[in-house]
Structure 1
Amino acid sequence: DIARSYFNIGETYDGQGNYRKALEYHKKALDIRIKGLGESHPYVAAGYNSIGEIYFKQGRHDTALEYCQKALNILLNSFGKNHLDVALYYNNIANIYEKKRDYDLAIKNHKIALSISLKELGKGHPNVAESYNRLGEIYYKLKNYEKAVEYNEKAIDCLQQMRKHFTTIESKQFHLSEKQSIFENSIRNILEANSFDSTQFDLKQTFTYAETGKGNLLLDALNSSQAKYFANIPEPLLQKEYDLITDITYYDKKRQEKLLEGMDENDTTILAFSSKQFGLNRQYEVLVNQLETDYPQYYQAKYNFTTLTVNHVQDHLLAENQTLLEYFVGDSSIFIFLIQKNNYEVKEIKRDFPLKDWVQQMTKEGIYGYHALSIYDPLKTDSLQDAATLNYATAAQNLYKKLISPFENKLTKNLLIIPDGVLNYLPFEALLTEAPARIGSYKSYPYMLKKHQISYSYSATLLDEMRQKQHRRAPEGKLLAMAPFFDGDVEELNIRIDTTDIFADINRSEPLLPLPNSGEEIATISKLFDGTPIYGTAASLTQFQQQAESYRILHLATHGKADDRVGDYAYLAFAVPGDVGEFDKLYARDLYNYSLNADMVVLSACETGTGKLQKGEGIISLSRAFAYAGAKSIFPTLWQVSDEKTKDLLIGFYKYLKIGKPKDEALRLAKLDFLESNAGNGIGTHPYFWAGLIGIGDMRAVR
């Protein structure tokens, strides 16, 4: 089909932004189709529409309108008024009128498209959400804020319906991430409306919008988990669901592994895995429909999409003298929400600065890029160190001024930070409140750590869920600590470790190398908490799988690896019994099938808090996977950490936990002690060694 070939070539040029060549080939395709099919064929309409879209991109709006109107007329004659392609063409025409600032005709055409989509697709579809969103944008441009907010809320309600209709994580994430602009528009519209009339809208609604746009996949998973265990569903059905999810995960994991090995999507092995996974997904969808029909209580619990209100945060979530700072990072603005017991404020910060560049400058090009290199790496030069030192000092101040300074004078000592977007990569404790007195004198740097006790959460709603979560059963053990890569003498280690002295001051590429300090780390904390330490090749994945559900605290001192391309395939390494040279991987995706009863999980491994960033979800990482599995609090790392320094930091952390300190306070005190004890070692107080470990979730004291 020559016309199809021309059409495809035109689409390729269109995708490359070469509109002149795109028009040339689309017109060739259109001429052939008109001659062969006649002027009234739907394929001819598609040709007119494609040419109209290209003219639209070129800014030639009148010509675009001419072609798109021809396309619409053909489809109306061919399919009638209630066809989805007709709705698409009405939307295209509406977009042209919007660009021409003929807003009345833009609204008229969007509403026609919306009515068709609602009839053919129902309320919970991305096309419907987008129509509501576009109408909200037009009313915003007309400064009709009441109508703008009305359509914003309809778009958000549509997104909530989508969460019910898409059963797989992948489909939900794709569609929800594509619609994040709806939440940004909703927040902006209320703020702007209230700048003219402060009584027009309740400002607290903006926080609800921000919360609704965050952590939906994780919240849905927690809701689903709780629903299954408290809705009296027969065990065989739950087991069938568990088995299907496990099998789906297995085949997807095998498929991804083969793709990462370089195998083509069309390879027979890949196709076999995909076919098996498709069949299992269909079985799973049928089962979910059965559960929802036969067990409405389960359905209601699973699809509870209510987010916390400002009043609930103030009355139930925040402690006295605690401040919540929540960020919403949009395309054109950052919104900062401050909530205290008796105060609520919102500020808009325009994104007129290179946010992503500053974050990278502070972290990868500042804190850890140089220090994570091996001493034998030829790239580890004095000039790179000098650049990293300056990058960190500069970016840490710049980010503080943008992200913290707007509320600086209102902050309490205790901060709960809910980051968004690229801010998830930031250790806020290492932001600098002002310029250092002397560059390179790290002990004296004005870190936020020195003024504030900081913890993190994925969202306020998720924090409340994590705190209120009821474990499936009470764990029998206090602490399980594993050090798969400790290759020292365990008996000698246990004789040498004496925990009495640590209270005196109170008033990781393959092959994987040994972690010599991990043994002392888990031996010490196990003695403090009467825990169960497992060393070396005995610390296997099988041991973890068999024992993890029985402990209140899980501490894993091992190797970890983030994957910023496919976050669900980040992994923790475990030993293989009897084989020092081999290791097993616990992937983040595998954790989705676990049911942990842990109040705290400490991931003393590299890169356990970092991974792929997804809009609305944050970082898809090992730490997030442990939250998915049921952990109430997680302590991950943001970069490759030092085995020796992390040991010292964590022993200090557990020391303060032992005497009843809340987790966030215990971590802050351990970090301040670390700075003091390394004061004589200039580089030893660098943020690389202490700022990477952060606390997420429920920070109440360990029971």
Structure 2
Amino acid sequence: MGDVWVTRHQPLKALTCYQQAINYLLFDFNSADIYTDPASFNSAFYTTELMETLLAKAEAFTLLYSTSHRVKDLDASLQTFLSFYRLTGFIEQFYESDDARMFISIKKNASHRQPIALCLQLFKLTGNKKYIEQAFLLDEQNKANTLALYLQENKLKASSNISASLLAEESYLKRSITAIVLKASGIANMKVLTRLKDTLNQYTVRLIKVQDKINNHTRLKKLNLGGNSISITELQKIIPGDGIILSYHIGDKEILGFAVTKDEFNFFSKPVDQDFQPSLQELYKLAQLAEGNNNRTVKSLSANLYRQLIQPAETWLKGKTNLIIIPDDELNYLPFELLTDNKGANLLSHYSITYNYSCTLLHQKTGNIQYSETKKLGMAPFNGKIPEGNWVQLSSSKQEIESVNGTMLLNRQATKQHFLQQAHNYGIIHLATHAYANDHDPNRSFIAFYPEGKVMDHELFLPEIYNLKLDKTRLIILSACQTGTGELVKGEGLMSLSRAFSYAGCDNIITSSWMANDNATAYIASRLHYYLQKNYGIAHALQQAKTDYLQDESIPATLKKPAYWAHLRLIGGFETEATTNWVGYAGFVIGLIVLILIVQISRNRVKRPRPGA
């Protein structure tokens, strides 16, 4: 009935109906006051209907404000949206599959622009910055929420007293289900498909039972998680003095940018220009072209996007060198390193740039890489001659992994089986190989190893990567085409191969956004490892490696187009580079000098003759 009153433009009567519906759908909630929203959802049963009712109530308050012009009504709309998000957070904790959680995430994302727009409107009306902080938290709740929850639960499992055999059985069942699903996708015979479906059902039932046992250990803690987004104060604790985060939200009418440093939280908003989306698409397309004379157009587009995305934050960027970008929607495709200021200098020349899916995931990162003390694995399956097929030889891939200075597997040694058996033992992994991103069916995306046997024997598909246990792996370098691209899911980001490695537990991934040039990638990769060996942070090492490539006079200018270097990007967090402790060192030297002087004075006193001797 509430919907009927809305169509008749009678929002107060609609709100009364929606409030009655909420009372009915929540057994322990009883309030006739339309300005009161549920804070707890322990008695929620009809959760889908409750979500729809809360959204309808929030929109009815917005309609009411259009005639009342009372800030109270606009704020009430925002508060109802926040109640909706508390409900979705409650539901997510009890969804065991990522597909189910993705459904909730997509549901949230479909409505998240409205409450963020409300926050901006309320800030303009009141000047109260709490609304901007709320906009930031709402935006965070709609970025990679499924991934964040998955990683959070894995940490919870690791800290709980769960038997290793139970976790191993869960892992085995997940791998088995993945293998069946992948196998079924290539079979047309109905009898075979029926048998596979029966087997799949059996494994699924077993998995549910195992996860129920695991939840007996973790359920209490899960209920006390209290949401999985990070507060601004918590975020600032992990930002170094030279660091800054730029997190973007693309609204229907405005671009909203949040700038977070160790000491400050700022924001900017500006109208979305008509040429914004076309410029994004055109720059991404042109950046991939190795041929043609498009430099002037690339520079023009880069300068235009700089004015819209970076220039409003220039004041806060002063004195910073370590930049993390949290993109939104189509910004996931943009290589920010290309953007140029009014002097023609690109961001690469000023900042080491890292990307991530959300600020919440930055809080999940752990420590720095001790390169010299870390076990390293390099694999190049296509360096030499390969069997006839669709694969092209990558003659420079050996050069890439030689610079790793670790275990090196070439050609026939670089098999999928070897990778699956050994990957979890290494802190740094460099894969110089082929890859394929399937935008229509992300589950068919894969990384290729030495081609032997059936397809499943040498192609590592995206769902298989999800099931890997790489929580001890600190850096994976995916030197392969299209490992950083894939289907864009609103609120979750690109369903890419690199994202799958994040699911597997790896903190830092260097990935490729488009088809890469073999020689250029080998050059940059070699310089990357050179700087990592010198204890550079990963982002700084990648920045310097790209800079070396661009400044190398032996490389023709035609090979310095963005297509050759801008494809590589780092997904990770802040690091503190290993530096000499000069204060401690100076104290040691001064102390040593004082000690020598004391000893020398003592010796002189011993040797000095007594008076009258």
Give the superposition deviation at 1:585.
Answer: 0.5
Counterparts of 1:420 and 1:255, CA distance in 2: 34
> Partners in 1 of 2:249 and 2:542 — Cα distance?
26
SS at match of 2:569: coil
Matched, 1:306 2:181: no
CA distance in 2, matches of 1:162, 1:348: 32
Distance 1:469 1:523 in 2: 23
Equivalent runs, 1:280-679 vs 2, <5 Å: 280-296=203-219, 299-300=222-223, 305-314=227-236, 316-353=237-274, 355-364=276-285, 366-368=286-288, 370-371=289-290, 385-386=292-293, 388-389=294-295, 391-411=297-317, 412-434=320-342, 446-467=345-366, 478-487=375-384, 511-526=390-405, 531-576=406-451, 584-596=458-470, 597-678=472-553
Measured in 2, the distance between the counterparts of 1:217 and 1:469 equals: 25
Percentage identity across aligned positions? Answer: 25
Judge conservation of contact 2:403–2:530 (CA < 8 Å) in 1: no
99, 103, 108: which one pairs with 1:179? 108
TM-superposed deviation, 1:448: 1.6
Cα distance in 2, alignment partners of residues 100 and 394 from structure 1: 50
Contact 1:400 1:431 survives alignment (8 Å): yes
Task: Give the Cα separation in 2 of the matches to 1:334 and 1:658.
Answer: 40
**Structure 2 counterpart of 1:487, which letter?**
G
Tell me by how many angstroms 1:130 deviates.
Answer: 2.8
The match for 1:37 is: none
The one-letter amino acid paired with 1:413 is T
Which of 72, 79, 85 is matched with 1:156 structurally?
85
How big is the shift at 1:208?
A: 1.6
CA shift in 2, pair 1:295/1:307, >3 Å: closer
Q: 1:346-383 deviations in whole A, cap 9, x for unaligned?
A: 2333445354432221112x111x33xxxxxxxx7xxx
Give the match for residue 22 of structure 2.
Answer: 114
- 1:582 to partner: Cα distance: 11
Match of 2:403, SS state, is helix
Q: What is the CA distance between 1:702 and its match in structure 2?
A: 8.2
Contact 1:575–1:582 under 8 Å retained in 2: no
Tell me the equivalent position of 1:693: 568
* Larger RCO, structures 1/2 (Cα 8 Å, 6+ apart): 2
The alpha-carbon deviation at position 649 of structure 1 amounts to 0.7
State the Cα distance separating 1:215 from its structure 2 match. Answer: 1.1
Query: Secondary structure at 1:641's aligned position in 2?
Result: coil
Measure how far apart 1:321 and its partner are.
2.3
Once the two structures are superposed, what CA deviation does each residue of 1:383-415 show, in whole Å capped at 9, x if it has no partner? xx34x5455334322222221122123213321
Going from structure 1 to structure 2, the CA distance change for 1:304 and 1:628 (only over 3 Å counts) comes to: farther
User: How many matched pairs?
Assistant: 552
Give, in angstroms, the shift of residue 294 of structure 1: 4.9
Is the contact made by 2:404 and 2:430 (CA closer than 8 Å) also made in structure 1?
A: no
Alignment of 1:14-25 (within 5 A): none
Q: 1:190 to 1:295 in 2, by over 3 A?
A: closer
Is the 1:339–1:345 contact (alpha carbons within 8 Å) kept by the matching residues of 2?
A: yes
Task: Provide the secondary structure at the position in 1 that maps to 2:468.
Answer: coil
CA–CA distance in structure 1, aligned partners of residues 256 and 510 of structure 2: 26
Q: Hey, what does 1:241 align to over in structure 2?
A: 170
Gaps of 5+ in 2: 28-40, 66-70, 579-613
Q: Distance in 2 between matches of 1:243 and 1:581?
A: 21
CA distances 1:255-309 after superposition (whole Å, capped 9, x unpaired) = 3344xxxx59xx45445444443443343334333332355456458x5633211
Once the two structures are overlaid, the 10-residue window that deviates more, 278-287 or 236-245, is: 278-287
CA contact (8 A) 1:124 1:160 kept: no
One-letter identity of the residue aligned with 1:362:
L
Q: Offset of 1:668 from its aligned partner?
A: 0.8
The change in CA–CA distance for 1:422 and 1:273 in structure 2 (over 3 A counts) is farther
Instruction: Give the unaligned 5+ runs of structure 1.
Output: 1-89, 372-379, 436-444, 490-508
Name the SS of the counterpart of 1:606 in structure 2. Answer: coil
SS of the aligned residue for 1:334 comes to strand
Aligned to 1:77: none
**Secondary structure of residue in 2 paired with 1:639:** coil
Deviation, structure 1 residue 462:
0.7
In structure 2, relative to structure 1, the CA distance for the partners of 1:469 and 1:625 (3 Å cut) is: farther
The change in CA–CA distance for 1:409 and 1:256 in structure 2 (over 3 A counts) is: farther
Q: Say whether 1:256 aligns with 2:256.
A: no
Deviates more, 1:202-211 or 1:648-657: 202-211
Partner of 2:37: none
What SS does the aligned partner of 2:161 have? coil
Contact 1:322 1:415 in 2 (8 A): yes
Q: How does 1:185-224 map to 2 (within 5 A)?
A: 185-199=114-128, 201=130, 203-224=132-153
Q: Residue 353 of structure 1: SS of its match in structure 2?
A: coil
- Structure 1 residues 626 and 105 mapped into 2: Cα distance closer, same or farther (>3 Å)? same
In structure 2, relative to structure 1, the CA distance for the partners of 1:697 and 1:128 (3 Å cut) is same
Does the C-alpha gap of structure 1 residues 352 and 415 become closer, same or farther in structure 2, counting only changes over 3 Å?
A: same
Contact 2:372 2:533 in 1 (8 A): no
Q: Any idea what SS the aligned residue of 1:465 has? A: coil
CA distance in 1, matches of 2:566, 2:57: 45
Q: CA deviation at 1:512?
A: 0.8
Aligned to 2:585: none
Distance 1:617 1:320 in 2: 29
What is the RMSD computed on CA atoms of the aligned residues?
Answer: 3.1
| Contact 1:657–1:701 (CA under 8 A) maintained in structure 2 | no
TM-score (normalizing by structure 2): 0.83
The code of the aligned residue for 1:280 comes to Y
Matches within 5 A, 1:73-84: none
Partner Cα distance (1:330, 1:256) in 2:
37
Q: Hey, what does 2:590 align to over in structure 1?
A: none
Contact kept, 8 Å, 2:93 with 2:223, in 1: the verdict is no
Question: How far did 1:699 drift?
Answer: 4.6
Which shifted more, 270-279 or 556-565? 270-279
Normalised by the length of structure 1, the TM-score is 0.73
Change in CA separation of 1:103 and 1:295 when aligned onto 2, cut-off 3 Å: closer
Instruction: Please state which structure has a larger fraction of its residues in helix.
Output: 1
- 1:151 Cα deviation from its structure 2 partner: 0.4
Larger mean Cα displacement after TM superposition, 650-659 or 635-644: 650-659
Q: Which range is displaced more, 233-242 or 351-360?
A: 351-360
Residue-by-residue CA offset, 1:187-206 (whole Å, 9 max, x unaligned): 22222112121238453222
